[in-house]
Amino acid sequence: MGAGKSTVGKILAEKLALPLVDIDTEIQSEHQISITEIFANLGEPAFRKLEHQMLTRALLQDAIISTGGGIILSGDNRMKLEAADFVVYLKTRPDTFLARLKGDTTRPLIQEKSRDDIIALCESRTKLYESVAHLILETDELTPEEIAAQIKQAFQTRKELL
């Protein structure tokens, strides 16, 4: 959350001339309902099921895939990500992502939560993110363009080695 996945994904997709599949955007477009409304009306389990289905479809494409922060909670999703060609974890310090999320009302899991609760939520996921990532990039001091450039370079190096 707040790491820049969607922003960096757009830039990277352009740099690599690949389509971008933003899981949250695709779910909203396909179901004509916002993520916030899905959580409010159908609940988190229903959203997680849609998220899993969209990830499964997205991984069949040659594309840049931007996932939501909670996709990692599912063991099935982690297995799919571990088997994917190249997974990047955009690691971001709590102060950075909290500043980026200030005033954001579109993220249901952080509404009405304290700063400490949000930090605990994100920190509880760190080991899961790291367990599936081929590349871990600390993003706090980098612009989205710099992040995308580093990912592109690492991706191309990995492709050459395989």
Q: Is 6 annotated as a binding residue?
A: yes
Q: Is 43 annotated as a binding residue?
A: no
Give the dihedral of Cα atoms 128, 97, 66, 139; nearest 10 deg.
-80
From the list 96, 80, 92, the residue with the least C-alpha distance to 123 is 92
- Between CA 104 and CA 15 the distance in angstroms is 28
Assess contact for 150 and 142: CB atoms under 8 A.
Answer: yes
Q: Is 5 annotated as a binding residue?
A: yes
Q: Is 125 annotated as a binding residue?
A: yes
Q: Is 91 annotated as a binding residue?
A: no
Q: Is 24 annotated as a binding residue?
A: yes
Q: Is 140 annotated as a binding residue?
A: no
> Which positions make up the binding site for ATP?
2-7, 107
> Which positions make up the binding site for substrate?
24, 48, 69, 125
> Which positions make up the binding site?
2-7, 24, 48, 69, 107, 125
> Which positions make up the binding site for Mg(2+)?
6
